[in-house]
Structure 1
Amino acid sequence: MQPPHGATGPLVAALDIGGTKIAGGLVDTQGRILLRALRPTPAGEDGDTVMKAVAEVLSDLRADPRWDAAVAVGIGSAGPVDAAHGTVSPVNVPGWRDFPLVPRVGESAGDLPVVLTGDGVAMTAAEHWQGAARGFDNALCMVVSTGVGGGLVLGGALLPGPTGNAGHIGHISVDLDGDPCPCGSRGCVERIASGPNIARRAVATGWRPPEGTQPTAAAVAASAREGDPLALASFDRAAQALAAGIAATATLVEINVAVIGGGVAGAGPILFDPLRAHLTQYATLSFASGVQVVPAKLGTDAGLVGAAAAAAEALRLEAFALSA
């Protein structure tokens, strides 16, 4: 029996759940998104209201004839997540605390198997399958945006960890006496290198955005491109923190490549040039010194593609050729 409407084999239904949007899609064995659905995240509402939006996304997908080819559901969610227990507690969705997302999605998806992972791990799965980490057996992939997350590929396989949070580089401490982080630690990579913290630090040192614009990392990057020393210094500090985290990871598990995605990566050379320079100062041991730093390729599609890839890998779906 041929899959309906042009699908090339079994499909995985994917969910990408964040604080502002809930995206859904049907992903084929080549990593193509054949169908999309979207709802805003009612992040300020109670847990059942947020789940209703998830169920609506799944209902949109199920209404398409191609749903008949779906064999699993993959979820990439803002965290923390607990894949072992199927629950999520996203920091930016207060109505979900230890929310039983996996069983609830299973009910809405016709009892297909459901695989949950953190959004950083999902991005990693996507970039290893179809993006900048393709062909590398050992990789760190990072999302540098409002927060900083990540995931690991080791020995050619995605390493989500027991709870789906392995590789969460954003909460490695790289400044032992640094500012307190909302996670409870101090001097975390995220506290230094995330977009809001790049802007916060620039403002604290006297930088001001152009009149009529907000103090964002994008605005800081624009000023840095024009040579503003305060803007350049804030990005340099972010790059230093990222380099220290990448070097620590390379020393611990021996990675070949670090892939950087997310909105802050859109700064381009303003971020990547000092990051590569700082990495040479931190990754000094022979087995850690050759790490390549490259931009991610999949952009906003990484969440859906990665959720599907993580599910296919966890369930050993042979039709999905996840290795290059």
Structure 2
Amino acid sequence: MAMLALDIGATKFAAAVVDPHYALHGVRRVAAASDDPWAACRDLLVTVAGDNEVSAVGIGSAGPVDVPAGVIEPLNLAAWREGFPIVEHVRALFPDAVVRLAIDGACLVLAEHRVGGLRGVDNGLALTVSSGVGGGIIADGRVVVGRTGNAGHIGHIVVPGDDTACPCGGFGCVEAVASGMSSVRWARARGWVGDTGVELASAAHDGDPIALAAMARAGTALGQGISSAAALLDVDRVVISGGFAHSGEPLWGPLRAAVARHARLDFIRELTVELSTLSEGATLVGAGVLAVEAAARGRSD
């Protein structure tokens, strides 16, 4: 019997077999199909499962989500923006499997808490900074999920003094300022020539002034959001993953400076912010945690 992990992101889908120790095997990734996302997910899951019977599937998805209803509404995936019953479709594909759904931020913090930088931490925050900005919360040793499963949406904390439009419909959200995609758009509007966050980070390391300004803007927004969330939640450790988080000092220097400036209350003065050490993709690892722990209970939520 196999347990599967599925990560539904804004630009790619990933799946793997997960073992009882949360290790991933046979990881496969495909581009997020804009015309028929379910076909891409279905084929990916079937390929990863192979000839194995499937006992459990953990799904981590970009949000918003409606966990009780088993529905996802990813902001950056137009075909599913109005809602897609992912749990129903996965159950139809694997009728004997236990299926669990969580927002990507909850999967992220599960992964960090079980095998990453939040092991042994009862109160912490995990972020992913990539094409979007997501987050998850550990409070008193438990993942905070909220009423609909969307707790931890740090990407939609509002940055002071910024009115950049966000895909959520609001303005000035951390995601609209600090994600890789948003930073690229901001830099291109000011004359930088490039297409990806990786290219932007490379240009910043080479001293390009527009790229450096874009990175400083993103890092400052992240530091402000982290400081606000740390004070709200009374946490002392934050772990950040995601492709854009690996941009190095042009991003992390302004981020640390913003934390030093804003995290001034006594109970968060020792706040630490670290880069994740999980290499396979923390959301996919967290989806694997969902599958393993659901299989152990023998039921779905």
TM-score strictly above 0.5: yes
Taking only aligned residues, the RMSD between alpha carbons, in angstroms, comes to: 2.3
SS for the counterpart of 1:141 is: strand
Instruction: Report the CA distance shift for 1:229/1:60 in structure 2 as closer, same or farther (over 3 A).
Output: closer
| Residue of structure 1 equivalent to 2:50 | 63
2:78 to 94, 105, 120: 94
The offset of 1:106, in angstroms, is 0.9
2:29 and 2:210 map into 1 onto residues whose CA distance is 39
2:165 and 2:27 map into 1 onto residues whose CA distance is 39
The offset of 1:311, in angstroms, is 4.2
2:198 and 2:244 map into 1 onto residues whose CA distance is 7
- Gap regions ≥5 residues in structure 2: none
1:182 and 1:205 map into 2 onto residues whose CA distance is 21
The offset of 1:217, in angstroms, is 2.8
Quick check: 2:14–2:284 contact (8 Å CA) kept in 1? yes
| Residue of structure 2 equivalent to 1:114 | 99
Post-superposition Cα deviations, 1:143-183, rounded to whole Å, max 9, x if no partner, equal 11111111111112222223222111111112355222221
- Gap regions ≥5 residues in structure 1: 4-10, 320-324
Query: In the alignment, is residue 172 of structure 1 matched against residue 163 of structure 2?
Result: no
SS for the counterpart of 2:137 is: strand
2:70 and 2:170 map into 1 onto residues whose CA distance is 26
Query: In the alignment, is residue 181 of structure 1 matched against residue 179 of structure 2?
Result: no
Instruction: Report the CA distance shift for 1:74/1:246 in structure 2 as closer, same or farther (over 3 A).
Output: same
SS for the counterpart of 1:299 is: coil
1:236 and 1:311 map into 2 onto residues whose CA distance is 38
Post-superposition Cα deviations, 1:277-321, rounded to whole Å, max 9, x if no partner, equal 2101111101122111111122343232111213445x48379xx
| Residue of structure 2 equivalent to 1:138 | 123
| Residue of structure 2 equivalent to 1:30 | 21
Quick check: 1:262–1:299 contact (8 Å CA) kept in 2? no
The residue identity in structure 2 corresponding to 1:302 is: A
Instruction: Report the CA distance shift for 1:23/1:243 in structure 2 as closer, same or farther (over 3 A).
Output: same
| Residue of structure 2 equivalent to 1:322 | none
| Residue of structure 2 equivalent to 1:192 | 177
2:130 and 2:88 map into 1 onto residues whose CA distance is 30
1:39 and 1:236 map into 2 onto residues whose CA distance is 31
Post-superposition Cα deviations, 1:212-267, rounded to whole Å, max 9, x if no partner, equal xx243323322322333333222122111111111111111111211111121111
| Residue of structure 2 equivalent to 1:272 | 252
Quick check: 1:158–1:310 contact (8 Å CA) kept in 2? no
291-300 or 31-40: bigger deviation: 31-40
The residue identity in structure 1 corresponding to 2:144 is: L
Query: In the alignment, is residue 242 of structure 1 matched against residue 222 of structure 2?
Result: yes
2:93 and 2:295 map into 1 onto residues whose CA distance is 23
2:62 to 61, 78, 81: 78
121-130 or 99-108: bigger deviation: 121-130
1:100 and 1:266 map into 2 onto residues whose CA distance is 33
Query: In the alignment, is residue 317 of structure 1 matched against residue 301 of structure 2?
Result: no
Count of residues paired in the alignment? 297
2:183 and 2:30 map into 1 onto residues whose CA distance is 29
1:272 and 1:177 map into 2 onto residues whose CA distance is 20
The residue identity in structure 2 corresponding to 1:63 is: G
The residue identity in structure 2 corresponding to 1:82 is: D
The offset of 1:52, in angstroms, is 2.9
Question: TM-score normalised to the size of structure 2?
Answer: 0.89
Post-superposition Cα deviations, 1:74-96, rounded to whole Å, max 9, x if no partner, equal 10112221111101122233222
1:164 and 1:251 map into 2 onto residues whose CA distance is 22
The residue identity in structure 1 corresponding to 2:143 is: L
2:25 and 2:220 map into 1 onto residues whose CA distance is 40
1:41 and 1:136 map into 2 onto residues whose CA distance is 34
1:305 and 1:139 map into 2 onto residues whose CA distance is 18
